[in-house]
Amino acid sequence: DTEVTQTPKHLVMGMTNKKSLKCEQHMGHRAMYWYKQKAKKPPELMFVYSYEKLSINESVPSRFSPECPNSSLLNLHLHALQPEDSALYLCASSQLDLGVSYEQYFGPGTRLTVT
């Protein structure tokens, strides 16, 4: 099973709201990722967790706050977002062996609209 699940599928939030995106995988992968994708563009990396520790932050604004409660779960907490943050947010996971990550499997994404 190579499934990564994400909830919710769609989210509409105001600029003063606080919401969270959730991601789950049961493939035993120890690397998990958050990406942001705008229309007709490739995914842009936001964060990487390796062995439940944040290993890469691509200079993402602090209004995005990632959390990895355990090896199967990844959250992205959202607060005070801007309309330009509207996008498809993708979670991915990959096997990690001796620090080397392998092919990434993506979830279906959460389509976020900020009003």
72: closest CA among 88, 51, 58, 55? Answer: 51
**Strand 44-50, strand 31-37: pairing:** antiparallel
Asked whether position 50 contacts another protein by CB under 8 A, the answer is yes
Report the alpha-carbon distance of residue 43 to residue 75 in Å, rounded.
18
Taking CB under 8 A as the criterion, the residue among 42, 53, 70, 83 binding another protein is: 42
Please choose, out of 14-22, 40-48, 65-73, 77-85, the segment that lies near another protein by the rule CB under 8 A. Answer: 40-48
Tell me the closest approach of the beta carbon of residue 8 to another protein, in angstroms.
Answer: 14
* Buried b / exposed e along 45-64 (16+ C-beta atoms within 10 A): ebbbbbebeeeeeeebeeeb
Name residues contacting another protein, limited to 66-105 (CB under 8 A). 88, 90, 94, 99-105
Asked whether position 21 contacts another protein by CB under 8 A, the answer is no
Taking CB under 8 A as the criterion, the residue among 29, 34, 36, 43 binding another protein is: 43
In sequence order, the 6+-apart residues with CB closer than 8 A to the CB of 41 are none
Report the alpha-carbon distance of residue 29 to residue 32 in Å, rounded.
7
Taking CB under 8 A as the criterion, the residue among 28, 41, 57, 97 binding another protein is: 41
Binding site for another protein (CB under 8 A): 2, 4, 6, 31, 33, 40-43, 45, 48, 50, 55-56, 88, 90, 94, 99-109, 111
